[in-house]
Structure 1
């Protein structure tokens, strides 16, 4: 037999009284008149089961001693068929075995002795029904929670799928934006190079610098293993390092910086700051602008605009300083005399530790050798010596020319003692100072000093 359905909250509780004695039933009915529940009567266990089968009953109070089916047996059957129905046993005599059976098999809520106390009886029934109501409410809430949890699991599952789908969509959008941004940054690099070519039109071809500096910076980035972002910033800085010079007069643009007079020299010292100010408004150019700002700082702290010293100068600015001076020395934009590449590199070596980072000089020379495809510069066995440092057995690595351009000795010539003496005498007669590229034999290589090194 299935458990009876739970009565709806608006129904009054049903209380079933079971006793084979009519006077007892009448007495209980009178006592319970006016209570907030309906009273049903049964004069036997069998009749009680019939009533339970026909309608929901919330509480059964049965006499313990009845013919055919005693109270303990009835309550045990009710517990089995209708476990949610509260069970109370009413006993008029002390029968421990019946009470134990009712407790163990009928799982009774309480037992009440005859004769009973009216107030105690009413209190017991009220508490039993309240307890049952609370228990049913607990069960209802638990069931509601289970249903809500199932709904939440379903909603969470759907939400997770929607979130995953949305996340994938957002990630795809973010990837597309990253690609677009990278493309934009590459476009900025290209744009800066194009602009630098236009800016160079202010200068005669022999004075233009940016194209060669860009190539040197790209080679330096590869040589030092710089990442894409740092390489991009250095390339843009190389392209636009002198954009602050565009407001200068034509004559000032081509005048060596060492020959500028006081007012022009102040304008010259301001050009890194002006270049940075022009570029800072462009977000992708901010890091490149910072490199440009400090590319005229000196390793010993004597540069401008902020007199930074040593490693306080950004690494990219130190590299850019080497490239700018190497090229501008050859274009005659720093000293009155226009140098060749060898002389420019010797100049950089001479001022290592003062103007330039001494730790970068030799690496920069290797980069220059690669860019210019100059095997001599790339050969570590080649030294640059003064005539008084020459010794017999050394081999010329380059042609040696006098200051007037006359060829003195061909590359590959093996020097002898008398030939070295003649070179020293000819140098003194001309009043010049030769820089001689030689290969030094291994046994003679130790102890030699490199001019300007």
Structure 2
């Protein structure tokens, strides 16, 4: 610390300079000195000794020299030392703050650069992953298509093995597709359901012709046991195709019954997979009409009535109601889904109905052609002919205009 009367004092502590000056000095007052120090050495801490008469010089020092503190004269030496110590401590803390601020800014710049680099790498990696995902999607689509192709091949094999009137897969599949759409089933369940409709007879490929052509209710003893095994056999043939696990499970359980009396596992109620419950309705509805269950072929309307009677014992009552309603309102099994058609017997015919499908006798003779508008006289003649032939006809018709189906 160096000073003389009326001259500034300079302190240097750990390279941190501090200037203490009097406000009144010959040649240059304290305010001017501190202004120049502030300009040349902004890091130097500035203090000034001043008396009551030096107020203007003090104000100038504060405004122009950015004075840290002024000390009134006369001063107390102990207090002056304390002020100087506080000033130096402040200066050191300010230097540390500036150092930390500079460090923070440098780290922020480095972090920003790292972020930019990371974003670029993430974007590049995202593009790579997107490309891989697209390739996987394509591969998965091809795999699904290969399973569909395999399903079609198996379905054709079954079709070739079965007698023509027992080739039910197309109608069953149409029914299942329409039901899935009407119930808003998700795409995955719909896919497995329709594949099960195409493959549910897979377990019958090894049967002999006699077993294939005998209605199921006429099978006894060993033949009956062989019949009961066909769902399990069908499941087993699909076990190596992992993607068809759910399809195989539907096929295995489509002969279960709502009351637990079915096979192969005697499942009951909701224990039976949803898809298997739906497949059972579609298969029985078509097979009843083809004479594959009972000794006789059952008319379509009677088959629907039988499903309703067996609801709660053989079939899920809620699904059965929805299924029967679909068949009555849309007739998807006839390839006429969504056209607002009805399948009715002669007792339900009313004038104004339009025939949607040709009507033939059992011998194949054409009675009425598609597009024919039914009149009261025509309906009466048709019922008379029915009585004479001791038969019963079902007609596929569109309701009269303005009459909801």
TM-score normalized with structure 2 length: 0.70
Q: Does 1:142 align with 2:97?
A: no
1:418–1:331: structure 2 CA closer, same or farther, 3 Å change rule? closer
Equivalents in 1 of 2:309, 2:195: separation in Å?
A: 26
Equivalents in 1 of 2:85, 2:31: separation in Å?
A: 22
Match of 1:37 among 9, 13, 18: 13
The residue aligned with 1:308 is: 269
1:421–1:188: structure 2 CA closer, same or farther, 3 Å change rule? closer
Q: What is the Cα deviation at residue 212 of structure 1?
A: 3.2
Match of 2:331 among 358, 361, 365: 365
Aligned 8 A contact 2:217 2:294 in 1: yes
Q: For 1:22-421, what aligned pairs fall within 5 Å after superposition?
A: 37=13, 58-90=17-49, 94-97=52-55, 98-112=57-71, 118-199=77-158, 203-206=161-164, 209=167, 211-213=169-171, 216=174, 220=178, 224=182, 229-245=188-204, 251-261=210-220, 264-265=223-224, 268-269=227-228, 271-272=230-231, 275-276=234-235, 279=238, 282-296=241-255, 305-308=266-269, 314=274, 317=276, 320-325=279-284, 327-329=286-288, 332-337=291-296, 339=297, 343-355=298-310, 356=320, 357-363=323-329, 365-370=331-336, 380=341, 383-385=344-346, 398-401=359-362, 410-411=367-368
Aligned 8 A contact 2:346 2:379 in 1: no
Equivalents in 1 of 2:52, 2:386: separation in Å?
A: 142
The residue aligned with 2:392 is: 435
Unaligned residue ranges in structure 2 (runs of 5+)? 311-319
Of 289-298 and 357-366, more deviation after overlay is shown by 289-298
Q: What is the DSSP-based 3-state SS (H/G/I as helix, E as strand, rest coil) of the residue aligned with 1:60?
A: strand
Q: What is the Cα deviation at residue 78 of structure 1?
A: 1.7
Offset from partner CA, 1:114-151 (integer Å, 9 cap, x none): 67655444433332222112111211221222222223
Equivalents in 2 of 1:214, 1:411: separation in Å?
A: 27
Give the superposed CA RMSD: 4.8
1:88–1:18: structure 2 CA closer, same or farther, 3 Å change rule? farther
Q: What is the Cα deviation at residue 160 of structure 1?
A: 1.9
Equivalents in 2 of 1:154, 1:140: separation in Å?
A: 21
Equivalents in 2 of 1:255, 1:416: separation in Å?
A: 37
Aligned 8 A contact 1:390 1:420 in 2: no
Q: What is the Cα deviation at residue 358 of structure 1?
A: 2.0
1:399–1:37: structure 2 CA closer, same or farther, 3 Å change rule? closer
Q: What is the Cα deviation at residue 67 of structure 1?
A: 0.6
TM-score normalized with structure 1 length: 0.64
Offset from partner CA, 1:136-195 (integer Å, 9 cap, x none): 121122122222222322322232232223212212221221122122112111112213
Equivalents in 2 of 1:323, 1:267: separation in Å?
A: 22
Q: What is the DSSP-based 3-state SS (H/G/I as helix, E as strand, rest coil) of the residue aligned with 2:47?
A: strand
The residue aligned with 2:313 is: none
Equivalents in 1 of 2:156, 2:332: separation in Å?
A: 27
Offset from partner CA, 1:62-102 (integer Å, 9 cap, x none): 233321112232123322332321112245x5534144443
Aligned 8 A contact 1:292 1:317 in 2: yes
Q: What is the DSSP-based 3-state SS (H/G/I as helix, E as strand, rest coil) of the residue aligned with 2:304?
A: helix
The residue aligned with 1:48 is: none
1:347–1:319: structure 2 CA closer, same or farther, 3 Å change rule? farther
Equivalents in 2 of 1:161, 1:257: separation in Å?
A: 68
Equivalents in 1 of 2:350, 2:242: separation in Å?
A: 57
